[in-house]
Amino acid sequence: MNDYYDVLGIAIDANSRDIKQAYKKKALKWHPDRNSSIEATEKMLLVNEAYLILSDEESRSKYDIEYRRYKNFKDLSGKSNEEYVYSDDVLAKWMSNAKIQASYLAKKSLDDLIDISGVAGRAFWSHTKKAIITYSIIMFLIVLFMYNS
């Protein structure tokens, strides 16, 4: 189980405004458009996932119950995350869906970046061609003027 409070760097009693601010702060830090580290995409996925669960009142309420249960499990058993079994099947499904949505958001962001890069590249090449043609005409006129003088 991921500790979404830790992911966003907030306390368990954070309000919705705190969650939103923490999300924005973490998104600015880990968004792959701004952070080229190897771990940025994975961290951003977790940030999106945490925000999706904690920003919704019902899913957060279910998460908080499970989170306390998970903390007790870890403290008492010392077992790993893989051995933890969710008591709330609905929450487990929501968390799985949040993970899928986070991946979708990351892919969409990457696709948007690629589209923007393509548009920028085509615009750059279009302006560069115009500049080269303009420069060539000016140089031709200068050479022609110097030759006729």
Extents of the domains making up the chain: 4-118
Structural tokens at position 112 = 């948007």
pLDDT digits (tens, 9 = 90+) for 61-94: 999 999 999 888 888 877 767 677 888 888 888 8
For residues 95 and 135, the model is more confident at: 95
Residue 20: pLDDT over 80: yes
Give CATH for domain 4-118.
1.10.287.110
Residue 7: pLDDT over 90: yes
**Are the C-beta atoms of 99 and 49 separated by less than 8 Å?**
yes
Pairwise CA distance, residues 111 & 90, whole Å: 31
For residues 97 and 19, the model is more confident at: 19
Quickly state the pLDDT bin for 30 (edges 50, 70, 90): confident
* Nearest partner of 65 among 44, 89, 45, 43, judged by Cα: 89
Stated pTM of the model: 0.65
